[in-house]
Structure 1
Amino acid sequence: MSNLRYPLSNADLAKLQSSYSEPAWWKEAVVYQIWPASFLNGNAQDGVGDLGGVMSKLDYLKDLGADVVWLSPCYESPDKDYGYDVADYKKIADRYGSNEQLEQLIAELKKRDMKLMMDLIVNHTSSEHAWFKESLKGKDSPKRDWYIWRKGKVGANGEKLPPNNWVAFFTGPAWTYDEASDEWYLCIFSPWQPDLNWENPAVREAVHDIAKFWLDKGVAGFRMDVINEISKTYNADGSLPDAPITEPNSKYQPAVSLFCDGPRVHEFIQELGEKVLSKYDTITVGETPHAKHPDILLPWTHPARHELRSCFTFDLHDQDGDQQWPLIPKKIHLPHFAGIVNKWQTYCHRTSAWLANYFENHDQARTVSRWASDSAEHRKTAARMISLFQTSLSGSLYVYQGQEIGMKNIPHDWPIEEYKDVATVNFLKECRELVEQGRQPPADPKEVPVFAQQKARDNARTPVQWTAGPHAGFSTAEPWMRVQEEDAKQGWNVEEELKDRWSVLSGWRDALRGRREFKDCILYGNFNLLKPQDEKVMSYVRNSCDARSNSDSDSARASVPSRSLLVILNFSADTIDSYELSPDAAHEAQEDARVQYKSEAPIVELHDLEKRARLVLGSREDSKELRWKGQILSRIRPFEGLWFELAPSI
């Protein structure tokens, strides 16, 4: 039974005064995510990125505008899922360095007024963790109940079957059979990632101890891996229920409704907050897959609930992929895409929820390839447009390594054998096996390489391109993963981009500075979507909510923002010869029945744009030549992004 320490419901939270605009360092922080294996091989010996490589680039990161470095998993691990299968939570893996080096990294960051954030992966451990090895010893093991063990079922022909029909994320059943005890353990990712039993207080205490261990060393906080999956749904007898049949052609079924946002998840997180996190000045972000409705996010991040600072949602990223088979791509529809942006930006402003603002990470394909264009003609402008897009959204900002130089997806001509990620490997294997069995696969095996080039996680994991030299300056040894050397030789590398005032890297620096300059509008202000049904251009206004009052009326029109930033983003390869914004464009969007989430006041008036709109940033060198004529902006070029400051309305 749930025993929440802070049991405020969403209805209760709605009655509280909003704290959205209250400043906090973790709200304003720019977090730079490092995937250690692919960042920089500091020892130049083994072709694997390491802590030495990270330390050698701290001045570069500081110069970029980063406040926090987030290290993806670097703990001791057999590395079957790139470190997300942890064998020792308190030891840095030898291939990355040592605990002493990590403490040195914290000290070096502190000298630069920067902080370190680490991954906390506690839904599951590695099957090689000492806890699980002890659990395997038998039903009488003191660690048996640290994992989720159950008796299986017996099939019609006497075959041994798992306890229920759940499918694992990496395909196959979500259970693994142990012959010695004739029981099965739950593993919703893979057989080498057994799920911890959070119902056991001893498990929770062990997790608290891990968090305290690193916080005491000076770590500023954690990104918490699939944290909304730690509480499973149980039947009254302790069994785990079957999932409904939603994939008739599959033996095992998606069960996210039975292990995401489970009945005790908030109790567990509030306990972690009370016993550990509240004792430190932390930055925390929870990875919350399948949280599509903002009401799910609210209890996680509202300050009155004492849980986490922010959450990663997948709503925006799921728009170009199949829900059950994320490797299968589909095109985004800009009005729907813009609606998702509007949903989260307006909801958070109204409710005190706080979002983690990310476009790329180790699990997502490169944005310039995915949402824009990585063609030679458009790539620079498109990547700079993406920087203006992301930095103009509220929420704690996360930038992923290589994003700042416009790194793209794996080249089309790389064979499927270059892909190392278990999700891609298993998906291809399953498609081939289903064809061999005469059953319908989710995708033709011949299509999988094409899909992988568009959506596979490996697209984000090719080593960072530092120079045009061998292995793009990543290592003098043979890299653990193939480097996009030809791309680096064409100028897509840090060294060359640092010299170019109009490079993607320079664009990111400008955008991050602009974000700080306009933080009253972007971070703490509201969001007014414009022209929500436009299929090529997304536009919106960020308003400072230190509004000036208009005594003529108490309506939304009477609230005048003290400062406004107009953002215009062309997501198409077409030139927009004439882009018109009516003076009432923001109000018209609010009245559009298809716009589900409405902005709170102030709602900006857009009259006199020719006089009021001043260009702040553009994604092209010649963006400064653009002019408003009345309410019309002429010739927005392909993938061009623009910020205009609006002079106060009189």
Structure 2
Amino acid sequence: MELAALLTLLLFTIGQGDCASAATKKDWWQYAQFYQIYPRSFMDSDGDGIGDLNGITSKLEYLKDLGVTAAWLSPIFTSPMVDFGYDISDFFDIQPEYGTLEDFRALIKRAKELDLKIILDFVPNHSSNESIWFKKSVNRERGYEDYYVWHDGKVNATTGEREPPTNWLQYFRGSAWEWNEVRQQYYLHQFAVQQPDLNYRNPAVVEQMKRVLRYWLKEGVSGFRCDALPPLFEVLPDAEGQYPDEVVSGATEDSEDRNYLTVKYIENQPETIDMVYQWRTVLDDYQRIYGGNSSVLLIETYAPAWFTMQFYGNRTREGAHLPFNFNLITVMEEKGLSAGHVKEAIDLWLNNMPAGRTPNWVLGNHDKRRAASRYGKEYIDAMNMLVMILPGVSVTYQGEELGMTDGEISWEDTVDPWGCNSNPSIYEQYTRDPERTPFQWTSGTNAGFTNGSTTWLPLAADYKTVNVESELAAEESHLKIYKELMALRKSSKTLQNGSTKYWVIGDDLFVVLRTYGDEDKYLLAINFGSKEETVYLPDLADRSLFRLIIKSLGSELTLGVWYGDLHVQPAEALVLTDVLHIYPNP
């Protein structure tokens, strides 16, 4: 069988790795498995129905057993909880319902004992309107007058009434400007009204936020995930102090939705890139002065590739270690799940990534529907295999290892401000509550998340079957497959350092081949179609047979069997190797 007859898309190869390149030692983050914890929903230790730091500490051994390198915690800082921690009133202390600073230090201590790293969420774009900084700015106290983005607004020539400076819209629906009676000015808030935007054109703000980074580095964290970078800067006003209006985008007819307008003036400004470079310098300087392992900087940016790739750095300056790659989310949301679209998502990153940088792969997070719900439950093993077999770093959102699905949240139970700012007829388009339901530890009361009587959000309906306890006890489960993938990734020089080729074969079979000199070869095959697909393995690599070592749940193929012709069923995903041994299950 000719390989050319099977290929429907071009082959792409990256990282011509071989054993000679092994002399270049990679840093810990370059092959790490990051695991996102949404603290409010991970584990409750005190029975109030809300997850907390002591709950996380009690489950660190679970993360260690999974094979996690670093746990990223969504915000744990003091907050009124309008946006559940992303509205921070004190960047230097812990939210009381999550615990205390001593609880955090105990978490760090235990994590170090287990050789786990802790990454904190850094929320630089805004604070809470209950922050002392904002209160001082409202009162124009010395040094805080321009801590936030303030504007007089403009007077309507017809009505004589004062109006917002521009037509800009916030993420959570409606105007991005709010009038403050005390100061008699509008302030900018690209998120909720209670989240005023900090003014990064003020050097005092820049230095204050660097102080935040240094404070938590001193407390022992191993880096930061930087939230919501696109709106960090807005365009400069004109000579008369006026900002330009955005134009109608044509993307939606809903004039309250942010997508109703373009975001040319309020997102992805060049100053944002430079600010990330400055934060990287803070981290590097801290290591240079105090020693220890390097700290990692991860960047959230849903931005075009031309902008996102600049975050990596340039010829003279280092930037983020890892700008998050959301292509496996965004491309599929726009076009649907298929082998061709998976290849398109991978191409979009690898074809644009600067040389010598590390790719990363993200399936979900606290802002997106859970992976099993978006891709389909039958594809959760396939997608976990994909991000583990591809080169670089994987990022797992809590529950993806179990195949957790979204909860069903009624309008009455909705608490997310994005949903609450809408109405009962459309809230499901906006609310992020379904992907934030409590983690499912057991099939018992409240899924083992709390010994209290209630949970802050209702549990997902499938918790009695999709949970850690049940999946560990089962002969086969999503969790066991995930652990096998983690163990393989951590032990394989090929997966850590090797070259990558990938194809679409036939109508909808996606294949990845990893090689590294004379080391083991690994092949991943996923059928994203509705009918059986066949691949002749000797056409793909200089081997006549490959041995099946990991398979998706429900596959009827036999582990340990050698294959030349591989017949892959719909939604089936398979990992094979060309060597005799099979890595033991963890």
- Report the TM-score range of the alignment, normalised by the length of the smaller protein: 0.7 to 0.9
**CA-to-aligned-CA distance 1:471-503 (integer Å, 9 cap, x gap):** 1111122334344364222x2111121112311
Pair 1:564-2:576 in alignment: no
- The 1-side partners of 2:342 and 2:183 are apart by 50
Cα distance, 1:302 vs. partner? 5.8
Alignment match, 1:309: 321
Alignment match, 2:291: none
Matches within 5 A, 1:6-405: 22-44=25-47, 46-138=48-140, 141-155=142-156, 156-237=158-239, 238-247=241-250, 249=253, 250=255, 253-280=260-287, 281-290=294-303, 292-293=304-305, 296-301=308-313, 305-321=317-333, 331-348=336-353, 351-373=355-377, 378=378, 382-405=379-402
Alignment match, 1:601: none
More deviation, 355-364/209-218: 355-364
Cα distance, 1:627 vs. partner? 6.9
Cα distance, 1:457 vs. partner? 2.2
Task: Determine if contact 2:527/2:569 at 8 Å carries over to the other structure.
Answer: yes
**CA-to-aligned-CA distance 1:34-83 (integer Å, 9 cap, x gap):** 11111111112x11111111111111111111121211111110101110
Give the SS at the match of 2:29: helix
Task: Determine if contact 2:494/2:519 at 8 Å carries over to the other structure.
Answer: no
Matched residue type, 1:388: M
Alignment match, 2:583: none
Alignment match, 1:579: 534
Cα distance, 1:255 vs. partner? 4.3
Alignment match, 1:530: 503
Cα distance, 1:19 vs. partner? 12
Matched residue type, 2:392: G
- The 2-side partners of 1:643 and 1:231 are apart by 44
- The 2-side partners of 1:90 and 1:116 are apart by 16
**CA-to-aligned-CA distance 1:64-104 (integer Å, 9 cap, x gap):** 11121211111110101110000001110110000011011
Task: Determine if contact 2:90/2:131 at 8 Å carries over to the other structure.
Answer: yes
Matched residue type, 1:240: Y
Alignment match, 1:613: 546
Alignment match, 1:473: 448
Return the structure number with greater relative CO, CA threshold 8 A, min gap 6: 2
- The 2-side partners of 1:353 and 1:85 are apart by 32
Matched residue type, 2:330: D
Give the SS at the match of 2:415: coil
- The 2-side partners of 1:486 and 1:582 are apart by 41
Percent identical among aligned pairs is 30
Unpaired runs of 5+ residues, structure 2, are 1-20, 288-293, 581-586
**CA 1:387–1:299 in 2, change beyond 3 Å: closer, same or farther?**
closer
Paired residues, what number? Answer: 547
- The 2-side partners of 1:462 and 1:485 are apart by 6
**CA-to-aligned-CA distance 1:514-533 (integer Å, 9 cap, x gap):** 11233x4334333322127x
**CA 1:41–1:647 in 2, change beyond 3 Å: closer, same or farther?**
closer
Cα distance, 1:626 vs. partner? 9.4
Cα distance, 1:278 vs. partner? 3.0
- The 1-side partners of 2:40 and 2:472 are apart by 23
Computed over aligned residues only, the root mean square deviation of the Cα atoms, in angstroms, reads 2.8
**CA 1:219–1:274 in 2, change beyond 3 Å: closer, same or farther?**
same
**Residue 498 of structure 1 is aligned with which of 472, 476, 480?**
472
- The 1-side partners of 2:170 and 2:459 are apart by 32
User: TM-score if structure 1 supplies the norm length?
Assistant: 0.78
Give the SS at the match of 2:557: helix
Cα distance, 1:613 vs. partner? 1.7
Alignment match, 2:515: 543
Unpaired runs of 5+ residues, structure 1, are 1-17, 323-329, 430-444, 547-560, 585-604
Pair 1:487-2:462 in alignment: yes
- The 2-side partners of 1:618 and 1:302 are apart by 41
- The 1-side partners of 2:24 and 2:164 are apart by 50
Task: Determine if contact 1:302/1:352 at 8 Å carries over to the other structure.
Answer: no
Give the SS at the match of 2:512: strand
Give the SS at the match of 1:339: helix
- The 2-side partners of 1:391 and 1:192 are apart by 39
Cα distance, 1:616 vs. partner? 2.5
User: TM-score if structure 2 supplies the norm length?
Assistant: 0.86
Cα distance, 1:511 vs. partner? 0.6
**CA 1:563–1:229 in 2, change beyond 3 Å: closer, same or farther?**
farther
Give the SS at the match of 2:186: strand
- The 2-side partners of 1:178 and 1:37 are apart by 31
**CA 1:183–1:297 in 2, change beyond 3 Å: closer, same or farther?**
same
